[in-house]
Structure 1
Amino acid sequence: MLSNVKPVVLDVILSSTCHGIPNIFKSTKSALKFLWIFCSILSTAGCCLLVFQNIAKYLKYEVTTKIRVKNDYIATFPAITICNINFFTTEKATELLPFCSEILTPSSLDDYDFQIKFRNCLEKHGLMEQNKSIYGDSKKKLINGSWFKNELLNLKEFVYFYHSEYGNCYTFNSGVLQNGSHVDLKKMARSRRTDGLILILNFEIDKGLLEYPSELGGIIFIHNQESSPYSVTGVLIGTKSTANIGLKRTFAKSEPKPYSECDGNTKNPESHESELYKLILAKNGYYTQAFCIEQCYQKKLSQTCNCTEFMIPSVFDKEPCDLYGKCYQHIMGNFFTFENINKECIDLCPLECEKQTFDQTISAQTLNGTDHYSVVYIYYDSLASTVVEESPTTTPADLISSIGGVAGLFLGMSLLSLVEIIEVVFRLIFILFDRQIFTQRNSSVLNTI
């Protein structure tokens, strides 16, 4: 059998496309044979080194970031949510002050958190269960005037939104009206201050509440229509001022794991196993990791203290916590550390890969003759948007091409060179198969004799 195998192996070696090995066997002179052996070993070592480096580079999962400016002639205007910075602003709220007189001190600088103390007291008395909206600004009171592209707006275009921290808020350009009917989104075709949204806002609070320390002003959240005011940081607006908020859009898209920390699709409830993630999407319809971490905190409160913090939105149906109670104070004091969040929340809260943000340029001037009013201009500084995209520095195709190029350069190999190994295996199988048939025939002949 060995006499049959040797010619087959030798034939494949001599016809191999790996030039070094055939030349070792073809060389009749020892010096030439040694030269080919030395060069083959050197080339194989160099090939292995570069292949290893290419694989190591691929396994680093590095990305190339491409930043480009996309020039648009028209841009969709964002959703704008407007709130008074004070949760309590009305006479109805003033009427409830006697319920909390034992913990509130008029004109005391110690009551810098008067609004929080007052609300916590009313929550404990069960006076915040219903009609929360009567304690904050009405739409007509807060928004004294509004224009878009120099056209007067109807107040129906501002939709009520309850914010867990600021109470009554109103959203412009959300795409829906209060009755649920859909409307076209506003767009801008010129980046001019007067072509955007102009607001005259009244941040006055009831005289009875002025006896207690309160900040006067408002807060404006600028977000896209698919997200919530909770997903962005608001812009604080003072009284007696004209505020100019110039916007520029940025669209960012990251590669999912293992190229970054983001987790791919965060809009499909079935894309992640986290029950908290699924609950947030089911109840809110939108998702961000920052919001999820807040809900992780609320989950901890609900499990430990059987309540949730009323200053933060919650997807859990629990009674509001006493913000000055021992259980709440203990959880609040220990939860928001990097180690604890990483331990309890990160696995439950996937990071989104796609984001749209509005970069803001803010300026303000004093507005004379108005104690409680402010004028706000919100507009696009430029209709162009910045697009930030990531792509893998080394793709699987790049890795295969690099390995193929290195193998071809150093050893003369190609993908078809692997077929030669398969050919040897098949030819050896055929020899073994033929030998078995020959043996069986001889046995049959001997048995016949």
Structure 2
Amino acid sequence: MDLKKSISLKNRLKEVLKDCLLSSTGHGLAHFIKANNYFIRITWAFFIIISACLCSYMIAQNILKYLKFDVNTKIRVVNQFSAVFPTNYFHPNYGNCFQFNPGYDNYENSDDLESTQFIERLGGLRLVLNLSVPDSLKFINPNIGGIIFIHNHTTHPTVVDPVTLSPNTETNIALSRTFYELKEKPYSNCDKNTNDKNYFKSVPYYLIHNYTKGYSQMMCTYQCLQLILIKECSCYTASYPNFFDSIPCINQTYIECYRKFFMDKKNTEKYLKECIDQCPLECEGMWLDKVISVNQYSAKKYQELVQNYNGSDKLFLNKNETFDDLAIVNIYYRNLGYTEITESVTVEFVDLLSSIGGVGGLFLGASALTLKSRIIIKKSEENIKLESELHKIT
């Protein structure tokens, strides 16, 4: 009795499974089950296997394409009629530092940024710099000249490439701006929320947000290295910016410790890795492209002009100073527009689901092969019918 019940239950399950397959949208399976002819079944089985293989391959291709996390890069030029003038941080080698348009005054209070509505030299900044060095200090550096750092007001001057100035020359620096915005992880190595002070927990990260207007991984890494150096040698290096309350590595003991710190390649690599882990990469930023031209100006004629000058600011001119150590620099925008670089995701997760659904509907439903297979099967049925009739006649 139990055996009969078991057989009956098994048959019922088979019937239910058969009904499900026959009513399934996978037409190939339904036709395979309903086919009475052996040849037709083999044909349907062949097409079902081919369809399943192609379906699996295309779904795998879509998933692999999504997991590449590729992006499309769009570059366009945006026109403007006004631009914030860049911040200039310039100094003679090992000399005093001056800053123009930093966004704050001498008392560290917020100040309005200067803008310009003009291009070319007439709308720029013109500086006349005295690059003379006292004889007692010339042994420090054999070079005579100045260095200018041109950067956005949110960028620290030490993370940009400087422009060197020579005495008795006029240097023209034409600028154009490029802003970029990358897609965050996993499409790149950057983190989207680095402008949030509380986004990341590390001492260098907090320092950058406390002492600068814009976050930079490079500046954060500098502070991390300074922190490690201070722990190891009780001093900081003047080669990098420093926001810690410490003394510079100037005496022999500190210098020896400093050299040992940076000369050990294994330790340096280890420290850099530690610092990269403490300093996330920003997704947004900008840079200034520079076109530099230099010419020599007539020092004698310019000296005569200055000596005869009687304007209200003549008190700031040293008419007895030799003009061979003077340098003129003009900083201006080539155009007020800027280049914008943005990224967009090539394959979104929704696109992946749509692709998989489309491929599944195409192949699992056997839609792509149904027409062709039906033609073959129809022809086979006609041949079988013809053979059957011939057999009856004979």
- Pick the TM interval, shorter chain: 0.7 to 0.9
Give the structure-1-normalised TM-score.
Answer: 0.69
> Which of 180, 183, 207 is the aligned partner of 1:279?
207
1:243-282 equivalence runs, <5 A: 243-282=171-210
The higher-RCO structure (CA 8 Å, 6+ apart) is 2
Cα deviations across residues 178-232 of structure 1 (Å, max 9, x unaligned)? 2445443222323221211111112223344346654322211111122221231
Match of 1:10 in 2: 18
> Which of 321, 327, 350 is the aligned partner of 1:374?
327
> One-letter code of the match for 2:275?
C
Distance 1:266 1:335 in 2: 30
> Which of 386, 402, 408 is the aligned partner of 2:361?
408
> Which of 336, 342, 345 is the aligned partner of 2:275?
345
Cα deviations across residues 352-372 of structure 1 (Å, max 9, x unaligned)? 111111101111111332212
> One-letter code of the match for 1:332?
F
Cα deviations across residues 83-132 of structure 1 (Å, max 9, x unaligned)? 22233xxxxxxxxxxxxxxxxxxxxxxxxxxxxxxxxxxxxxxxxxxxxx
Unmatched 5+ stretches in structure 1: 88-167, 415-449
Give the SS at the match of 1:277: helix
1:105-254 equivalence runs, <5 A: 168-210=96-138, 213-254=141-182
In our comparison, the structure showing a higher alpha carbon Rg is 2
Unmatched 5+ stretches in structure 2: 1-8, 300-322, 368-394
Does the aligned pair in 2 maintain the 1:191–1:383 contact within 8 Å? Answer: yes
> One-letter code of the match for 1:401?
S
Q: CA shift at 1:76, angstroms?
A: 2.0
Match of 1:28 in 2: 36
1:51-66 equivalence runs, <5 A: 51-66=59-74
Cα deviations across residues 273-303 of structure 1 (Å, max 9, x unaligned)? 3343233323445321211222222122112
Matched, 1:326 2:334: no
Does the aligned pair in 2 maintain the 1:86–1:214 contact within 8 Å? Answer: no
Change beyond 3 A, Cα 1:312–1:350:
same
Change beyond 3 A, Cα 1:336–1:185:
farther
Cα deviations across residues 147-198 of structure 1 (Å, max 9, x unaligned)? xxxxxxxxxxxxxxxxxxxxx3222222332244544322232322121111
Change beyond 3 A, Cα 1:380–1:312:
same
Q: CA shift at 1:341, angstroms?
A: 5.4
Does the aligned pair in 2 maintain the 1:175–1:225 contact within 8 Å? Answer: yes
> Which of 398, 411, 416 is the aligned partner of 2:351?
398
Matched, 1:358 2:249: no
Distance 1:280 1:185 in 2: 21
> Which of 230, 234, 241 is the aligned partner of 1:306?
234
Q: CA shift at 1:338, angstroms?
A: 8.0
Distance 1:229 1:239 in 2: 22
Give the structure-2-normalised TM-score.
Answer: 0.78
Does the aligned pair in 2 maintain the 1:254–1:354 contact within 8 Å? Answer: yes
Give the SS at the match of 1:317: coil
